[in-house]
Amino acid sequence: MRLFYAVFLPENVREALALAQEKVRPYRGWKATRPDQLHVTLMFLGEVDETRLPQLKQVGEEAAAGVASFTARLRGTGFFPERGSPRVWFAKAEGAGFGPLAARLRQALPEFAGAQSFKAHVTLARRKGPVPRPKPLVLDLAFQVHEACLVHSELSSSGPTYQVLERFPLAG
């Protein structure tokens, strides 16, 4: 099963980002993320044997229990990669807990950590063809983060479907 850890966004933030996503709707080459799927990925695990679920749930619970609830902010947009032809348009995410949550997961599951450093973000759209970059947006969105989730992702021709398998409350 394809899994990842994430923080999902509250409804009001998803609605605001859905309005921001209108910037790419005129370009057929950008595919916007469905608003109900907008999230900050803490750690992508990829394909994992289902027998590891108890361990992954325990790791998520322990990581979340060691990080206090915090305020997250989305202030602007960017691209991956920063230069050249972008593949991803994202909203930059800030928050005192994102780094510690990701670090705790990476420390507990180094086999999934990969070489890339963690950059908290919300993927707004992915590029599917040659298209122009949308102009940068300034956002001023804030929300409280009280939990992280272990998520099952199923890919299909219409896009991914996410199912939250477990919620992990943050400390305090």
The residues assigned a catalytic role are 39, 121
Beta 147-154 vs 88-95: how paired, if at all? unpaired
Instruction: Give bridge partners of residue 31 from the DSSP assignment.
Output: 126
At position 153, the amino acid (one-letter code) is: S
Q: How many CB atoms lie within 10 A of CB 136?
A: 12
How far apart CA 128 and CA 138 sit, in angstroms, is 24
Cβ–Cβ < 8 Å for 42, 102: yes
Cβ–Cβ < 8 Å for 91, 20: yes
Token pair of 34, please? Answer: 């469905």
Asked if 39 and 8 touch (Cβ cutoff 8 Å), the reply is: yes
Q: Is the peptide bond before 81 cis (omega within 30 degrees of 0)?
A: yes
Measure the CA–CA gap between 89 and 78, rounded to whole angstroms.
6
